Amino acid sequence: MLNDPMVLAPVTEAIRVEPEKRIRDRSATEKAILKAAKSLLAEEGFQNFGINAVARRAGCDKQLIYRYYGGLNGLVEAIGADLGNWVRDRIPEDTGGMFLLTYGDLMERLSLLFLEALRDDPLVRRIVAWEVSESTEQVRRLSEARSKALANWLDRMRGSLTPPKGVDVVAVNAILIAAIQHLVLSASAGGQCAGLALKTSKDWEKAATALKRIVRGVYG
Amino acid sequence: MLNDPMVLAPVTEAIRVEPEKRIRDRSATEKAILKAAKSLLAEEGFQNFGINAVARRAGCDKQLIYRYYGGLNGLVEAIGADLGNWVRDRIPEDTGGMFLLTYGDLMERLSLLFLEALRDDPLVRRIVAWEVSESTEQVRRLSEARSKALANWLDRMRGSLTPPKGVDVVAVNAILIAAIQHLVLSASAGGQCAGLALKTSKDWEKAATALKRIVRGVYG
DNA sequence: CCATCGTGTCGCCGAACGGTGACGTCAGTT
DNA sequence: AACTGACGTCACCGTTCGGCGACACGATGG
C-alpha cells in the first residue's frame, strides 16, 4: 500500500515545479558542510551531532557528507584539524604589555588567558565535554590534537623562563588546566561549580582571583 | 552517534535477570529497576541511558518504569536521592589517625580522599560527566544534590578548624574540586589529562603529589 | 554527436527510540 | 463465587537514526 507507485508519481511531478538548483561547486559545498558541522556541534553539543542533523543544517544531502568526508568520522577529523590552530587564533601571543619576569608571572597570565579563551569558544567547550564523556577512538584523536596544541602553546609562551626546581611542572599544569576546563564546563552547563556561582562577571572575578591565588601559591 | 559498523555488531545487551517467572512483587521490581538503572548508567554512561535499555537490563517491561517511577525523570530523581548518601558511604569520616592541625592539613587530606572516592565510583563519574554535558532541569537537580552533599561533608569535616583569613575559601575549594573531577573524568575517558598520563598507579602518585603541592601552596 | 564523470537529489531500508492502549493474570475483598 | 484492582506482558504507533542504491543533471572531452 505504501509502495503504490500510483501515489508517488504525481507527487514527484508537483515538487518539480520549483527548480531551485544548488550550484555545482564541490569546494563550496565542502566548506558549507564543515561550517554546519562546527556550528551544530557548538550549539547543540555532541549529543545531537549526527549525519542527518549536519546535512539538514548544511542544506545539502547527507550523501555528500559520505562522499566528501567519508562519513562523520572524517568530518570530525576535519574539525580536529582546525583545533591545532585554535590556540593561535583565539589566544593572544603577546604579554599584554606586562613583563613576565618569573614562571609564576607567566602561568598566572596564561591561566587567565586560557580561562577566557575557553569561556568565549562554545565549540571547544563542547569538544572538551565530549572528551570526558565518550571514549571512542574518534574523540581520543580530538583530545590528542587539542592537548598537543595546548602543550605547544605553553612551550612557546614559556620562552626562556625556567620553571622552579623540584616541581613536577607537567603534573601541576595539567591540574591547573583541568581545573579551568571543568570550571568553564560546569558554568556553561549549570551556572555554578561545587556551590560557587558562575554567572555574573562578578562571579568570574572571584573565580579568577582564586585561580590566581592558587597559581601563585604553587609557583610563587 | 558516530557508529562504526564494526562496533555495531557486538552490541550484546545485558542478559535477562532470570528465566524464572517474574513474581508479583512491586517493591522487588522497583528495586530491580533502580539497580538496573544505576548499573546501566555507571557502565554505559548517560548516552545510552533510556527507558528501553533500563527495562532490558532490569528484565522487566518498560511500562513498569512508567508506572512506578513516572518515566526516566522519576527514575533519575530516585538515583539522585541516593547521591546524598554517597559521601557518607564512600568517604571515611575519620582522619586516618592523623592529626589535622591546620586548614591546610585538612584540605590536603580531603582532596586526596575525594580523588580516590571518585576514582572508585563509576556511577558518580558518569553523573559528573553528565552534569557538564547536558543542561536539562533533570541533570541540574542531580548536580545540586551532589554539590549540596559535598558541601555538607566539607563543613562537617572542617570541625572547629578555621580557614585562613583573606582567602575566598568557597572559590578556592570549588576550583580544587573542579580540578579533581576533571582529572578523574579525563583519566577515565582517555587515560590522560592535558598531556599527563593517568593510567598506572605511578601516574596517579605524581598527580597526587602535584595536587598536594597545590593545596599546600594556597592553604599553607 | 555521444559517452563519461562529477555533482546533487531522492527514496528506501532495518533498527532503535519513547510512548501508549489493551490484554492476561493473580490476590484480596465483598 | 463474583468483583475489583494491582501487577506483569505484549503489540503497536510515529519518529528518527545511519547508511545505501539509484537516478537527474550538467560539464567535459573524445
Report whether pLDDT(A210) > 90.
Answer: yes
User: Is residue A109, in this structure, part of any structural domain at all?
Assistant: yes
Residue ending a domain, among B31, B47, B70, is B70
**Are A153 and A88 in a shared domain?**
yes
Residue ending a domain, among A8, A35, A70, is A70
pLDDT in tens, B66-92: 999 999 999 999 999 988 888 788 887
**Are B142 and B33 in a shared domain?**
no
Percent of chain B with pLDDT over 90: 79
CATH of residue B62: 1.10.10.60
Confidence of residue B97 (pLDDT cuts 50, 70, 90): low
pLDDT at B96: 64
Q: Count CB atoms within 10 A of the CB of residue A209.
A: 14
Residues sharing a CB contact under 8 Å with residue A34, sequence separation 6 or more, in sequence order? A75, A78, A79
Give the domain range for residue B43: 5-70
pLDDT at A93: 75
Q: How many Å apart are CA A211 and CA B63, to the nearest integer?
A: 49
**Are A92 and A181 in a shared domain?**
yes
Chain A interface includes B139 (CB < 8 A) = yes
- Residues of A in Cβ contact (< 8 Å) with B132: 129, 132, 182, 185-186, 188-189
pLDDT at B92: 77
**Are B51 and B136 in a shared domain?**
no
pLDDT at A165: 94
User: Is residue B76, in this structure, part of any structural domain at all?
Assistant: no
> What are the angstrom distances between the C-alpha of A205 and each of A124, B172, B215?
22, 12, 21
Residues sharing a CB contact under 8 Å with residue B70, sequence separation 6 or more, in sequence order? none
User: Is residue A143, in this structure, part of any structural domain at all?
Assistant: yes
Grid cell 533500563 is found at B54
Q: Which nucleotides of C are covered by protein (CB under 7 A)?
A: 6-13, 16-22, 26-27
Q: How many domains does chain A have?
A: 2
3 state DSSP class of A90: helix
**Are B91 and B56 in a shared domain?**
no
User: Is residue A4, in this structure, part of any structural domain at all?
Assistant: no
- The CA-based diameter of chain B, rounded to the nearest angstrom, is 65
User: Is residue B150, in this structure, part of any structural domain at all?
Assistant: yes
Residue A60, CB, strand C, below 7 Å: yes
3 state DSSP class of A101: coil
What average pLDDT does this structure show over A59-71?
97
**Are A117 and A200 in a shared domain?**
yes
- According to DSSP, residue A193 is labeled E
Residue ending a domain, among B43, B70, B97, is B70
Backbone angles phi, psi at B14, to 5 degrees: -55, 145
Q: What is the DSSP string of chain B?
A: ----HHHHTT-PPPPPS-SSPPP--HHHHHHHHHHHHHHHHHHH-GGG--HHHHHHHHTS-HHHHHHHHSSHHHHHHHHHHHHHHHHHHHS--S-TT----SHHHHHHHHHHHHHHHHHT-HHHHHHHHHHHH---HHHHHHHHHHHHHHHHHHHHHHTT--PPTTS-HHHHHHHHHHHHHHHHHHHHHHSEETTEE--SHHHHHHHHHHHHHHHHHHH-
Confidence of residue B95 (pLDDT cuts 50, 70, 90): low
Say whether B139 and A189 touch across the interface (CB within 8 A).
yes
User: Is residue A190, in this structure, part of any structural domain at all?
Assistant: yes
**Cell digits of residue B139:** 541533570
Q: What is the DSSP string of A72-84?
A: HHHHHHHHHHHHH
**Rg of chain B on CA atoms, in Å:** 20
3 state DSSP class of A27: helix
Residue B137, CB, strand D, below 7 Å: no
**Are B204 and B170 in a shared domain?**
yes
**Are A128 and A179 in a shared domain?**
yes
Chain A interface includes B39 (CB < 8 A) = no
Q: How many Å apart are CA A7 and CA A47, to the nearest integer?
A: 37
**Are A55 and A88 in a shared domain?**
no
Confidence of residue B16 (pLDDT cuts 50, 70, 90): very low
